Each structure stands twice: as C-alpha cells, then as structure tokens.
Amino acid sequence: MPAVYSSLHTNAKSLRERSALAQKWTAVLAEAIYFVEKNPDKGKAAVAKQLRLNDPDALQSAYDAYAKLLVNRRIIVPESTVAGVIEVAREQGTNVRKKAAEVIDNSFAENLEKSGLLKEIWGGEVPR
C-alpha cells in the first residue's frame, strides 16, 4: 500500500496563518532526518521506544526501513503516492473529493532546497 514518509500534516488555515512556523517545522524535520541517519544508535533508540521493540533484529530492520530506505531526505511529498493513498481510501469507501495536488504543499520543502539549507545540512548534495 502506498504511504507518505517524511512529511508534516496540517490544515490550509494553519499554512496560511502560520506559514513561518510551518517553514521552521519543515527545517526541523530535515535536520531530524539527518541526525537520525548520522546517529544510528540514537535513531534506533527512538525507533525502539516509538515501536516498542526489544528484539535487536526487528529493531535494525525497522531502523533501516524508516531511517534509510523509506525516508525522503528532500521532504518532497510525491503527488503520485498521495494519489495512490487517496485511491485506496476511495476503494475502502471513503468519500474523498480532492485530488492529490489539492492536498499537497511542497513549497516549504522547496524553500529549503532553494535556500541551500539542505545542502548545508548534508554537507553537499542531498542523498536520494
């Protein structure tokens, strides 16, 4: 099933009225992604706590999935993935009227790219 990782969720009113805060949160998310990848022991401790994992193999697998394989270091929410999530919701009987493009705002992530913050965090090009 499609899923969206490395994203923040809010409503249109908050984005309009508190866009500076949304921009700061987006930057914090970018920094947290870097921190977790570069500090695996602390990252695994957070994953273990959140997922209530005690098994070392399961913990390593979860860390690899969430902190390395599935994470989007550019924090761009893929429209195709959101479209897939919306389609699954519709198939399950949820009345979703909006299209994916209407519920995504990647401008905050794009601002991080334009400002050079992502390159600064990663010390160069952002890994894919």
Q: Tens digit of pLDDT for each residue in 62-80?
A: 999 888 888 889 988 899 9
If you search the block for the tokens 């705002």, which residue do you land on?
Answer: 105
Q: What is the largest CA-CA distance in the chain?
A: 46
- As a whole number, mean pLDDT of residues 96-118 equals 94
- Distance, in Å, from the CA atom of 20 to the CA atom of 10, rounded to the nearest integer, reads 13
Percent of the chain with pLDDT over 70: 95
Listed in sequence order, the DSSP H helices in 8-123 are 12-17, 19-38, 40-51, 56-63, 79-91, 100-103, 107-115, 117-122
pLDDT band at residue 9, thresholds of 50, 70 and 90?
Answer: confident
- Distance, in Å, from the CA atom of 9 to the CA atom of 12, rounded to the nearest integer, reads 10
Q: What is the pLDDT of residue 1?
A: 46
Q: Which two tokens stand for residue 61?
A: 């697998």
Q: Is the pTM of this model over 0.75?
A: yes
Q: What is the pLDDT of residue 119?
A: 96
Could you say which DSSP state residue 121 is in?
A: H
Model confidence pLDDT, tens digit, residues 12-43: 899 999 999 999 999 999 999 999 999 999 99
